[in-house]
Chains A and B, each alone.
Chain A
Amino acid sequence: MKAAVIVFPGSNRERDAVAALETVSGVKPYEVWHRDTELPQVDLIVVPGGFSYGDYLRSGAMAAHSPIMREVKARADKGVRVLGVCNGFQIITEAGLLPGALRRNAGLKFICKQVALRVENTDSDFTAKYRKGQIVRYPVAHGDGNYWADADTIKRLEDQGQVAFRYVAADGGDDPLGNPNGSAAAIAGIFNEKKTVLGLMPHPEDAVETLHGNTDGRPMFQGLVDALQ
């Protein structure tokens, strides 16, 4: 699998994404500067976390208009897999690859901790290596992770199996206390309709090796590697 990680001014988890991809696939991904207008031939594009443009204006809003994003959208339209994590989720949402928006956390504070997630749909290259309903733990680290969309959109996401991950309590139950940021329907991550684009707030790339305390993120990258060989 060949992958590219997009780097914006203010990206800061590109190193984590590169390390996770290299650890699992054995191939070092390309790092592509946001001002570039062309992408190498890749099977996966990762839009990493961080504070692109310092979160000025609105998280992800400025990066969504970077020159490279036109190319990212064109590739996504052709079915190239796109993974947006944290600020990357905010950016691809702002860029219109996914519906909805990410607002300030309900608690108004940045929050960094391990969270429990339920895998809601395994019918994608991102989630194929998980069991449906499996409870996994990834860390979150964000201030603006409160997913919002209007009721019709939420219904459509639910009906079409576009909800990828949902925040749950540590024991796997639907407990609002498991929702760290007030997201609608406790949504932590969503797919596009074709399940070729995934955006999520938690960080699978920081749950890949023993040092991270758990390796629940590894199957996501393994699933992509296996599907996109």
Chain B
Amino acid sequence: MRPALTEAAVTPEIAAEHGLTADEYQRVLEIMGRVPTLTELGIFSVMWSEHCSYKSSKVWLTTLPTTGAQVICGPGENAGVVDFGDGDAIIFKMESHNHPSFIEPYQGAATGVGGILRDVFTMGARPIANMNALRFGSPDHAKTRHLVSGVVSGIGGYGNCVGVPTVGGETNFHESYNGNILVNAMTVGVAKADRIFYSAAAGIGNPVVYVGSKTGRDGIHGATMASAEFSEDSEEKRPTVQVGDPFTEKLLIEACLELMDTDAIVAIQDMGAAGLTSSSVEMAGKGGLGIELVLDHVPMRETGMSPYEIMLSESQERMLIILKPGREEIARKIFEKWELDFAVIGHLTDTGRLVLKMHGQVWADMPIAPISNRAPVYERPWEPTPPQPEVDEGVWDGWNLSLEETLVKLVSGPDQASKRWIWEQYDSLVGGDTRFMSGQAAAAVVRLPNQKKAVAITTDCTPRYVKADPVRGGAQAVAEAYRNLSAVGALPLAVTDNLNFGNPEKPRIMGQIVGAIQGMGEACRALDFPVVSGNVSLYNETNGEAILPTPAIGAVGSLPDAMLAVGIAFKNEGDTILVVGETKGHIGQSLFLREILGREEGPPPPVDLKAERRNGEFVRALVLDGLVTASHDVSDGGLLVAVAEMAMAGGVGAHITGLDGAHPKVLFGEDQARYVLAVRPDKAEAVQARAREAGVPVTVLGTTRGTALTGRGGEAISIERLRKANEAWLPAYMTAGVE
């Protein structure tokens, strides 16, 4: 029986409700040559949303370097692909799920993980590691505890079940995220370089196949929601948040990888943001073809769904596949084995049009090419961020804590405190290939299945730097990623960026976006560290207040042998502690300034990309030559915090002789391009000689020994006391919420 189904006639008001501007709607009318149907309008609105079209950032994103000998596939596909040698490829990407995670933290974060996993296995990779970069509001804010709890269980609930280890990331707190948290999830997978799957459809008449979960009414207009500011009524948007099922995702991974072992697939893409709409439009568009879908054949979870709802649903765990002719039965058998839905829902045509039929009626008939090539692109006005004045020397008068109390406070502050409470909820070990989680080493290190070699993974961004100077902050985020990879001994290969900003229609915010991209571009070029994938999340504002600009950088590097990687923990007593790189004592925007003196001011530290590269290459070579027993980059909190973290991780202290009489800015300044290394004492001279040869500044800081940080003056800071303070903050904070 055919249900009666009619659609409302489209008016300019309905177009506006769909988030289209008057100009954009005018453009729709021109493309269509008539008033669009509601389904057609819905398709335009999601495809032209900020989330799907990158209309505010596109002109700037195209300035980023995206090529290099190591790049197999740069931006534009589901994820980036780099050459990993021996016929292997690493496929990776980071993506935000900010808006949904604020509204419904468990499902928002869970489906964020699910979405990024699909982006990676869609291209033929088995996912081998997940990371995530999280930013929450002030710990004092009423919602923060609930959001931390929900996001962490969501990430764990999904990642643990699909059996991909979650090996680290970063978690920060700042009041600017009170109304807009950031959940940036990254997946790294491994594939054969000659078995990469792309999304461009080909072959007129080829079947279009739908696999995975059934389509429901969840997530309709998620992409549109993610393209607007929040206001007080955002809670009412809960129905736009998708619901995830990691069990189905696990089956989908196995079924897709099994199908990929056959020769049945022409093209494949996951149904992520904007679901069936973006997958069908993008696949056909890239192939220059048309596509005709019979929506009656779409597996549905609910009855009475309209074409509009089917096309805009963001139900999870679904993929769209173009098969070679006659391969339907091979594919069907595989998906039936894994107990997943499988349906042929249409075919490719030579018309260049998207045609949607249901109940024998046509609900959309629209040209595909203009949806992308006539999509709005905005060169939004922007203003550069004014430079910050240097920090006044008088700030030091406000420092009234002892060295010990200062260090305790730094390592126990929300940003620096141990995140054990979080990462113990993640299965970091499944697969049996995890060498280091991030935290145990400057970057996570995961071995490739059945091989010796390993991928090193990091996520980095220091938003307070970016806010003070977007160009420098953007460069710093890339440089820190490069440094973290080098510190474990890995060769940095490529970057994925996740750009989180406020409302781009404000010139001040647009200036942050432009500046950060410029800085990132400079750093990526100088470090031969191209951007191969990325994601942009704008409108992270609530009631007009924007988040700190947060261009999160995810990056991967290669190690010839997982066992060559070095962690941060001091391992032996009697090792010589060296500082690589020059310490000038830059205190502007430092953690010390914020946590100890309560001031967020000054310019961020300068980034010398030549020094970054030279020092990184030097450290990497030392690690690979087996000369280093512990290695850590120097970042938040400066030199003394880096040493304290190495001591806490290894349970071995340090006698520090290289800082006698030093100004505190030397201890806590955040100069870039620096590392702390421990080397066996009989190797210290050789290492210093190599440094002189390479023109790398290296100084001796002291020796590992005992159970405290000690100095020549007889002072002693107990490692146990630091560790207790470092471990205590987060569990105490989270339990305080339980009434």
A227 located at the interface, meaning its Cβ lies under 8 Å from any Cβ of chain B in the complex: no
Given the known interface contacts A19-B432, A110-B160, A205-B432, the answer about A54 and B427 at a Cβ–Cβ threshold of 8 Å is no
User: Is the Cβ of A141 less than 8 Å from the Cβ of B449?
Assistant: no
B643 interfacial contact with A, CB 8 Å: no
Residue in B156, B157, B163, B425 whose beta carbon sits within 8 Å of that of A12 in the complex? B163
Partner of A50, one of B153, B163, B423, B433: B163
B425 and A10 form a contact (CB under 8 A): no
Is A41 part of the binding interface, using a Cβ–Cβ cutoff of 8 Å?
A: no
Stretch at the interface among A116-124, A170-178, A206-214: A206-214
Within 8 Å of chain B (Cβ to Cβ): is A102?
no
Q: Are B447 and A211 in contact (CB under 8 A)?
A: yes
Report yes or no: B161 in contact with A20, Cβ–Cβ below 8 A. Answer: no
| With A10-B250, A112-B427, A211-B447 already in contact, 4 other A-B pairs whose C-beta atoms are closer than 8 Å | A15-B431, A16-B430, A56-B247, A110-B157
What's the Cα separation between A162 and B270 when bound, in Å? Answer: 49
Q: Is B312 an interface residue (CB 8 A)?
A: no
Q: B447 — which chain A residues lie within 8 A by C-beta?
A: 211
Q: Evaluate contact between B251 and A10: CB separation under 8 angstroms.
A: yes
Chain A residues near B153: list those with CB within 8 A: 109-110
Is the beta-carbon distance between A51 and B161 smaller than 8 angstroms? yes
What does the 1/0 interface line of B547-568 toward A look like (CB < 8 Å)? 0000000000000001100000
User: Which of chain B's residues have a CB closer than 8 A to the CB of A203?
Assistant: 429
B435 is an interface residue with CB less than 8 A from chain A? yes
Check if B424 is an interface residue, CB within 8 A of chain A.
yes
- Confirm or deny: B338 has a beta carbon within 8 angstroms of a beta carbon on chain A: yes
Chain A residue numbers with a CB within 8 Å of B296 are none
**Is there a chain B Cβ closer than 8 Å to A111's Cβ?**
yes
Which residues of the partner chain B approach A141 to less than 8 Å between Cβ atoms?
A: 160, 427, 429-430
Complex Cα spacing A110 to B248, Å: 20
Q: Which of A177-219 contact B (CB under 8 A)?
A: 203, 205-206, 208, 210-212
Determine whether A145 belongs to the interface, using a CB cutoff of 8 Å to chain B.
no
B557 to chain A, nearest CB (A): 18
* A55 close to chain B: CB less than 8 A: yes
Report the separation of the CA atoms of residues A11 and B338 in the bound assembly, to the nearest whole angstrom.
Answer: 12
- Are B245 and A54 in touch, CB under 8 angstroms? yes
Decide if A211 touches B562 in the complex (CB within 8 Å): yes
CB-based nearest B residue for A114:
B429
Interface: A139 (CB within 8 A)? yes
In the complex the two chains form, is A54's CB within 8 Å of B161's CB?
A: yes
Instruction: Contact check, A12 vs B251: say whether CB atoms are below 8 A apart.
Output: no
Contact A51 B431 (CB under 8 A): no
A-side interface residues, number (CB < 8 Å): 31
Most buried by B among A11, A15, A20, A139: A15
Q: When the two chains form the complex, which single residue of B250, B338, B427, B431 contacts A110, counting CB atoms closer than 8 Å?
A: B427
Asked, given contacts A51-B250, A54-B161, A211-B563, whether A13 binds B430 with beta carbons under 8 Å apart, the answer is yes
A20 touches B432 (CB 8 A): yes
The answer to the question of A113 belonging to the interface, with a C-beta cut-off of 8 Å to chain B, is: yes
Would you give the shortest CB distance from A33 to chain B, in whole angstroms?
8
List B residues 422-453 near A (Cβ within 8 Å). 423-433, 435, 447, 449-450
Q: What 5 A-B pairs come out closest when comparing CB atoms?
A: A12-B163, A54-B247, A16-B432, A51-B161, A141-B427
- Looking at the assembled complex, report how far the CB atom of B621 sits from the nearest CB atom of chain A, in whole angstroms: 23
Q: Report the minimum CB–CB distance from A62 to chain B (whole Å).
A: 11
Q: Which residues of A contact B246 (CB under 8 A)?
A: 51, 54
Q: Which of A15, A19, A112, A143 has the most CB of B within 10 A?
A: A112
Does A53 make an interface contact (CB < 8 A)?
Answer: yes
Distance (whole angstroms) from the CB of A133 to the closest CB of chain B: 25
Known: A53-B247, A111-B424, A211-B435. A12 touches B562 (CB 8 A): no
CB-CB under 8 A from B338, the residues of chain A are 9
Q: How many angstroms from the CA of A211 to the CA of B436 in the assembled complex?
A: 9
A141→B432 CA distance, assembly (Å): 12
Query: Within 8 Å CB of B429, what residues of A?
Result: 112, 139, 141, 203, 206, 212
Which A residues are in CB contact (< 8 Å) with B163? 11-13, 50-51
Contact (Cβ within 8 A) B433 A51: no
